[in-house]
Amino acid sequence: MKKDDMKSAKSRKGLWWIAAGIVLILAALSLALFNWHQDRQNGEAAQEYLTELLEQIPQTSDSAEEQTTSGGGDLLAEYAENQPQEEEPVAEAGGYDFIGYITIPKLEIELPVLSEWNYTNLKISPCRYAGSALTGNLVIAAHNYNSHFGRINELNTGDIIYFTDCGGAVREYEVVQTEIIDGYDVAAMTADDDSYDLTLFTCTWSGTNRVTVRAVEKSN
């Protein structure tokens, strides 16, 4: 092969690699833009459902934190005595059933919690994956959108989480552990029901693992 032909072949090969690189960059940007749009869209939708849900939940104070620290314990005791069932009361908003809402002050998020978990519901808001706040083994799953549970890995031991059910009862939880669980180890989410009163989890960006936050209910 002549030198000119060799140079031409190398030039074409170089251009091909450049073009391939540009395509990959554009694909990555498109994916990032799509994820950003989904995050924003679903975050706004969750807030709309929360607004509708709050109109139906009895409010005894201005915030979950205030209710818990200013007599919320009496409310919880009274509520528990009158609730023989092991399931939280359910309220409908936007055609969906919710069991209440979760407040995480450190992350500045407040989100409604759907009563049933499935992939469709997961795009809307956090969902009850298993258990109940009434029986002390509530597990809540959510997408890793920043507007949902995408930042729960930032929670540390001692951080506070509130769950308000549709009857107006507020429970205060303290984070005791954050761990990474294999995405295929489904049983690990509920294996320690007796040790943790509340578990939050979401998938990592790779989707192969689950960021898992464990918390215990604080006694008032």
User: pTM, whole model, 2 decimals?
Assistant: 0.70
Greater confidence (5 vs 142) lies with: 142
Q: What's the pLDDT score for residue 78? A: 42
Q: HSE-up of 119 (CA within 13 Å, CB side)?
A: 0
pLDDT digits (tens, 9 = 90+) for 113-157: 999 999 889 889 999 999 999 999 999 999 998 889 999 999 999
> Beta-carbon neighbour count of residue 60 at 10 Å?
13
* pLDDT tier, 6 (very low <50, low <70, confident <90, very high otherwise): low
Q: What's the pLDDT score for residue 28? A: 60
> Which of 16-25, 54-63, 175-184, 185-194 shows the highest mean pLDDT?
175-184
Task: Look at residue 62 and tell me whether its pLDDT is greater than 70.
Answer: no
Q: What's the pLDDT score for residue 93? A: 92
Q: What's the pLDDT score for residue 206? A: 73
> Which among 219, 220, 99 is positioned nearest to 164, based on CA atoms?
99
Can you tell me the mean pLDDT for 2-21?
A: 64
Task: Look at residue 207 and tell me whether its pLDDT is greater than 60.
Answer: yes
pLDDT digits (tens, 9 = 90+) for 42-56: 667 788 888 888 888
Residues 112, 54: contact at Cβ < 8 Å? no
> Beta-carbon neighbour count of residue 46 at 10 Å?
25
Q: What's the pLDDT score for residue 35? A: 62
pLDDT digits (tens, 9 = 90+) for 79-108: 334 444 467 789 999 999 999 999 999 999
Q: How far apart are CA 217 and CA 171, in angstroms?
A: 7
